[in-house]
Amino acid sequence: MSLHGRDLISIRDLSREEIEDVLAAAKRMVPYAGGAKVSHSLDHKIVAMAFFEPSTRTRLSFEAAVQRLGGSCITIADASVTSMRKGESLHDTIRMLGSYADAIVIRHPNEGSARLAARASDRPVLNAGDGSGQHPTQTLLDLATMQEAFGTLSGLRVVLLGDLKFGRTVHSLAHAIALFGSDIVLTSPPALGLPAQARRQLEHMGAKVREQADLHEAIRDADVLYVTRIQKERFGDESEYRRVAGSYRVDASVLADAKPRLAVMHPLPRAGEIAPEVDSTPHAVYFRQAALAVPVRMALLDMILGGRKGD
């Protein structure tokens, strides 16, 4: 089914075939993302960036993607300078943005906010992270990174390390890993495990899911180590955060027993959970992962909103 005019709120909104189409299109976008070729796909189109939470990669790569496709952006980067400070609702803000722009990219601290935004506007809405819910466009670039590293998304063993309770990137990614038939190993502090319902959904899809508390054991036969930051901003109580802060760290000693081709991934930002010494090892793909954000988001925007093709 065509993605034209559709919302992307959850990775579940895309079939396996649609994900494969986006990844194939992202490969074709690489020369456009680097400026070697010029696209007019979004000529005269405006995309609204509605970011009510901090972001570096997601907002700026979306803005770069729009501009590389010939479009332009209007941006809320700080909710405190909008009329929401005067009490305007998210519903009204989004409904109004839909009359200024052709599509809306939203990040918001509340789970379900992107779904609410999609109901408020008849423009396509793309979820750029809703609280602890979903981050589907991150998953697409995560998959592009794995595909580039291994040539396949099937038959891999993927360790999800860190905050699996609040981390929206792993909530989206775990579904996609299951969809493509790779195995999932869950490694987290006990208080930050994957919610039971999310695990049941993966098992219902036929995924092999197991827990392995010991990081050294977990990565021994892993192909991918997907590291996440503890989501400090989601804790209601600072003392609870302090109890788990710093409880895992990937460094050279952790990687000593890893397969030579282990890919260490991270959606970034990192906050101490990957030592800088890992950056210079062949395992580190997290900056490549961040770079792929532009061609992947270009491909998605082109499929949802695009018109005239490149010269």
Q: Which residues bind ligand CP (CB under 6 A)?
A: 55-58, 129, 138, 267-269
Instruction: Determine which one of 6, 59, 68, 135 is catalytic.
Output: 135
C-alpha 81/C-alpha 78 separation (Å) is 6
The amino acid at residue 296 is V
CB closer to ligand CP, 134 vs 138: 138
Question: Does the annotation count 139 as an active-site position?
Answer: no
CB closer to ligand CP, 169 vs 188: 169
Of 225, 180, 235, 175, nearest in space to 200 by CA? 175
Handedness of CA 165, 169, 171, 176 (dihedral sign): negative
CB closer to ligand CP, 195 vs 269: 269
Question: Does the annotation count 57 as an active-site position?
Answer: yes
Instruction: Determine which one of 45, 59, 68, 107 is catalytic.
Output: 107
Nearest distance in Å: CB 131, ligand CP? 13
E strand or H helix at 127: strand 125-130
Nearest distance in Å: CB 55, ligand CP? 3
Nearest distance in Å: CB 5, ligand CP? 25
Nearest distance in Å: CB 60, ligand CP? 8
DSSP 51-94: ESS--SHHHHHHHHHHHHTT-EEEEE--GGGSGGGGT--HHHHH
Question: Does the annotation count 145 as an active-site position?
Answer: no
Question: Does the annotation count 249 as an active-site position?
Answer: no
**Extended beta strands in 233-310, E state:** 263-265
C-alpha 300/C-alpha 309 separation (Å) is 14
Nearest distance in Å: CB 301, ligand CP? 16
Tokens 């423009």 found at: 123
Nearest distance in Å: CB 229, ligand CP? 9
CB closer to ligand CP, 55 vs 201: 55
Sheet strands side by side (includes 103-108): 72-76, 46-51, 103-108, 125-130
CB closer to ligand CP, 117 vs 141: 141
Question: Does the annotation count 58 as an active-site position?
Answer: yes
C-alpha 131/C-alpha 111 separation (Å) is 5
Using CA atoms, how far residue 303 sits from 115, 121, 185, 295, in Å, is: 20, 19, 33, 12
Instruction: Determine which one of 58, 93, 145, 169 is catalytic.
Output: 58
CB closer to ligand CP, 134 vs 182: 134
As annotated, the active-site residues are 57-58, 86, 107, 135
